[in-house]
Amino acid sequence: MTNSFRWRIALTFVCMGLVVGYLMHLKGTFDSKLILRADVESASGLFEGMKVTYKGFELGRLTQLELLPTGKVNSTLQIHHQHAGFMTQGSVLKISKEKIVTTELVLIRDETNQATLRAMDPISIIKDDVTADITKRLDPLLQKVQLLLTQLSDPAHGIQASLVESKAVMHQTVRTLEVTSRAMQQLGDDKKGLPAVLGQTLLTLEHTNRTMQQLGDEKMGLPAVLGQTRDTMVELEKALVQTQQTLGGANRLIENVDGSLQDIKSAPVYKWLIPNNTNATKP
């Protein structure tokens, strides 16, 4: 049981060692590296472990910073073997401040010289002085200010043209306010303004209301008039019926009279008493 436990522990350590070794191999720990000396006068802005990059790719790191008794700074760079060909003679390293959190050593190559550096060859690290750094940061701001001043001084679209246009707009606004004030005064006139119009409208509405009330009165209004008119029409209709009946009786009476006259004229007595006028008038 004890031997089995020891074997398990041993196998665990072996596995851990293999994993660590594999990870170190992936990081290039066991790869051969190109060692270079960094030529720098001060360690300001530098730190051990600082990345050496080219076009965004990591080539190596700054592995050592040491102040010698002579006052010089001893610094060492380790470049990955597969990237050693990028370290050519005439190249320099520049401290990049583009990142907010940390800085890097960016490789600036001399494209005209393809000879590579050898082990322990020096390579210069250049730094921007404070004035140059401030100037580089202020240049975009100064350009924007210059562009703004140019736009402001434009006679067609600049501040002068805007002021002239604003002045014209203010004059137009003043005239509009004056017209509005006069219109408000006219509207506020007690005799001809809005109060008078509203008062007249109110009187008209009251008169219309009284008229409607009178028309709606059951005794003297429109319903009473309509009722009387309806009764009159009924009476007229009855009178017309009676008139028609009377005219019919009169017509029959006239017909009877005409018949009686004809009967009288045709009687012999009438002819004897009243001879024919035509015979009497003959010569």
Residues of the chain with pLDDT under 70: 1-3, 5, 20-31, 98-101, 128-138, 216-222, 267-283
What's the rounded Cα separation, in Å, for the pair 1 and 20? 29
Distances, alpha carbon 153 to alpha carbons 5, 140, 161, in Å: 88, 20, 9
Tokens at residue 180, please?
């509005």
Element (DSSP H or E) covering residue 256: helix 222-266
Burial of 37: CB neighbours in 10 Å, binned 0-12, 13-18, 19+: middle
pLDDT at 281: 44
The rounded Cα 37 to chain-centroid distance in angstroms is: 62
Residue with tokens 């050593």: 105
pLDDT of residue 178: 87
Dihedral sign for Cα atoms in the order 138, 143, 144, 149: positive
| pLDDT tens digits, one per residue of 90-114 | 999 998 876 656 789 999 998 888 8
pLDDT of residue 161: 76
Pairing of β 122-126 and β 92-96:
parallel
